[in-house]
Structure 1
């Protein structure tokens, strides 16, 4: 496996700490204990493993949305993030291969005439999606006829939907299903409208970011092959996602 010399480590983590942005907008990736505010999840496990291998202390900074997390890495306030691979973000962020894959799904009211994913992109439909999320970026490219209504975050999608906005909700299948438990009269559309590859991202503005990306890519491959990622998913009871190939 490739290694990082002291110069590259200084470029990667210029403050002497590995500052990691944690996206709390996706419960498959990370969560926060409401009493202790301790962060936990697969991304936290991987972040600590990277810090351990580089002998760097890890500073975790939580963000409510993926968009805020990406903004922080673009501004240089964060050294590393865990976000969905997306070509728009890729202009500023260098990605590793994915470590897990997550499904994006649609939800509608029980009495909705929509029963299949391919019925969603119609002029009469309005899709509620979390602003700046991977689903927002994907649907902004792919939806040709329906209108997108952006909620403040992925967690706010179902509440906005139930308050009367739109007639379709879009997001992480597990997030939608979890939020829907607070309401009645909702159903998921079968299948998925997209598969999201979650990866590590670092800022392209840093010197020698290519070498750092190579190191992190090798590390992610090793963590997948060794069973580290699968074990973390099992320990955190993650469902609806799989270890990326």
Structure 2
């Protein structure tokens, strides 16, 4: 990628690319058990983009999507990795999606709920991670069920169990992991949404910065880099998003 100096300055005004990393989404980022450092698909992409810009990268790490988004919106970070959503789009310019992720519902074994379309009923209490893509989506879509917000996405099932709620909503892989940790839980079949995971930059950085980020993501998909990262980090249940060029 041949980038104009002004575009590079817009993307990394401090001379270092500050990448907002959300550890609340296990498909994108985790803490390495061996080193204690962040690792995952989003970290690989952040480092690759910094290399394209010819600058160093600084990881700004958060435990929840809402905080990670706010860091970019308030320009405490230069780029981030988020689900595309119109609410976030007010302040953040999104790239093309690079990964597609499924959102699922979790219930207790004895729950009368059998299908996703049965969740939106009066009196149904649904746990979601505050500020997550699921929170934003379900806030718009659920007309009868009531949303209860957990502090972070990884604490959704804990909140669901402690408050004796009816449904937990989140990343399918995270819920599957929680099912293995807690007996008597099951996932409803299928998915209630597909999340288009993208990179984002503050809109204040200008159209040139947004175009450069979009082009980078498309290049990473076309070259097989995103697919390689998913395989390298043993990520299942996520797929490379189609090219949007």
TM superposition score category, shorter chain reference: over 0.9
Structure-2 residue corresponding to 1:27: 26
- For residues 36 and 60 of structure 2, the distance between their equivalents in structure 1, rounded to whole angstroms, comes to 12
Structure-2 residue corresponding to 1:215: 212
**What CA deviation, in whole Å up to 9, does each residue of 1:202-222 have, x standing for no partner?**
00122xx21111111111111
Question: Structure 1-normalised TM-score?
Answer: 0.96
- Structure 1 segment 144-155 matched on structure 2, within 5 A: 144-155=143-154
- Structure 1 segment 8-87 matched on structure 2, within 5 A: 8-34=7-33, 36-87=35-86
- For residues 51 and 86 of structure 1, the distance between their equivalents in structure 2, rounded to whole angstroms, comes to 25
> Shift of residue 34 of structure 1?
4.6
> Shift of residue 225 of structure 1?
1.1
Contact residue 158 and residue 180 of structure 1 kept, 8 A: no
Structure-2 residue corresponding to 1:224: 221
Question: Structure 2-normalised TM-score?
Answer: 0.96
Structure-1 residue corresponding to 2:184: 185
Structure-2 residue corresponding to 1:196: 195
4+ runs deviating over 6 angstroms: none
Match of 2:112, SS state, is coil
- For residues 75 and 165 of structure 1, the distance between their equivalents in structure 2, rounded to whole angstroms, comes to 36
- For residues 234 and 36 of structure 1, the distance between their equivalents in structure 2, rounded to whole angstroms, comes to 20
**What CA deviation, in whole Å up to 9, does each residue of 1:179-201 have, x standing for no partner?**
22221000000000000000000
Unaligned stretches of 5+ residues in structure 1: none
CA RMSD of aligned residues (A): 1.0
> Shift of residue 118 of structure 1?
0.6
Unaligned stretches of 5+ residues in structure 2: none
- For residues 201 and 134 of structure 2, the distance between their equivalents in structure 1, rounded to whole angstroms, comes to 21
Structure-1 residue corresponding to 2:172: 173
Structure-2 residue corresponding to 1:115: 114
- For residues 212 and 204 of structure 1, the distance between their equivalents in structure 2, rounded to whole angstroms, comes to 9
- For residues 153 and 53 of structure 1, the distance between their equivalents in structure 2, rounded to whole angstroms, comes to 32
Contact residue 121 and residue 146 of structure 1 kept, 8 A: yes
Match of 1:98, SS state, is strand
